[in-house]
Amino acid sequence: MRRVRYHQNGGPEVLRLEETDVPRPGPGELLIRTEAVGVTLPVVRKVRGGGLPLPASLGGEVAGEVVATGPDVTGFAVGDRVTGICFADGYADYSLLHTTMTSPVPGGATVTDAVALVRCGLVARGAYAAARPAPGESVLVTGAASAAGHLAVQLAKELGGGRVVAAVSSVAADAKAAFLRNLGADHVITYDELAREPADRWGGPVDIVLDAVGGELLSPAVAALAPGGRLVAYSSGGGTIEAYDLLAGAKSVTGFQMAHIARNHPELMERWRLELWELFAAGRLRPRVHAELPLEDAAKAHGIIESRLNLGKVILRPA
């Protein structure tokens, strides 16, 4: 089978397509014929310099058909269509999924729908829940045109939020604005506007910030909060916040990580997953795919993510 690995850290150009044996599923594992692979910013950052032993393979969210099962597998069978998180060799013709990280793809949905919806939807849903929203509260979403961000914009509207402000980078800002307004955003602003313009320009301070960017954007995001507002950080971008900026307005910051929910509250993750599929089936949650590329174009897919051009999800499609 084919798989993508990298032998040195760097940009998209270090990704290599290689031949290797098809793996065998171990206890509790499923072997799937990989039909769709979601490209994520954390994986792109790991290639740049994630500290993994080299050469390294790429994990991620995958979807496809079960072609073999390992010992002790229950609840899944050959021929099932599934999606889940793969921690190694996700960019490959065949992938291994542990049953604890796998869920079925319902009838009426495609593998592309599953990769665009499930993981990023769970992150967006969980981040919004971590803010402890009250009905009608206003929400600012950073990284709003991203795979998780565009779902967060929609979920905030669907789950009782009031005014929703979408913040994006200045790259292709007009296209992102049109994209996000079509998904329900009330205002679309750039990061420069967030940092420099008074909040009255986009409806005033907000009650909640869902931050997928971090870094230098954290301070202006906190400044955008109304007194008593909450920021939920779910970015791998780092950053610092001055304690006084929180004290002055009785504001708070919460970190959110999906892995924590998966380990400690699997029943909550399953409830959110069912909710996402119900909203999707009703046409109330619309995952968007920016590009579907063949596996051999993995470098091009990473380049799209790094350039900040994507509107929604970038997906690799093995043969």
**Phi and psi of 232, rounded to 5°?**
-110, 120
Instruction: Provide the pLDDT for residue 243.
Output: 84
Q: What is the pLDDT of residues 46-55, one digit of tens each?
A: 899 877 789 9
Query: Is 0.75 topped by the overall pTM?
Result: yes
pLDDT at residue 87, as a whole number: 85
Q: Which pLDDT does position 31 carry in this prediction?
A: 98
pLDDT computed for residue 20 by the predictor: 96
C-beta of residue 228 within 8 angstroms of C-beta of residue 251: yes
State residue 41's pLDDT score: 87
Regions in the chain scoring below 50 on pLDDT: none
CA nearest neighbour of 311 among 284, 288, 294, 292: 288
Pinpoint the residues of the chain covered by CATH 3.40.50.720: 120-259
Q: Which pLDDT score is estimated for 199? A: 86
Q: Classify domain 120-259 by CATH number.
A: 3.40.50.720
Q: Quick one: residue 43, left, alpha or beta (phi over 0 = left, psi -120 to 50 = alpha)?
A: alpha
- Tell me the pLDDT tens digit for each residue of 65-109: 999 999 999 999 999 999 999 988 999 999 999 998 899 999 989
Q: Where does 2-105+288-317 sit in CATH, by number?
A: 3.90.180.10
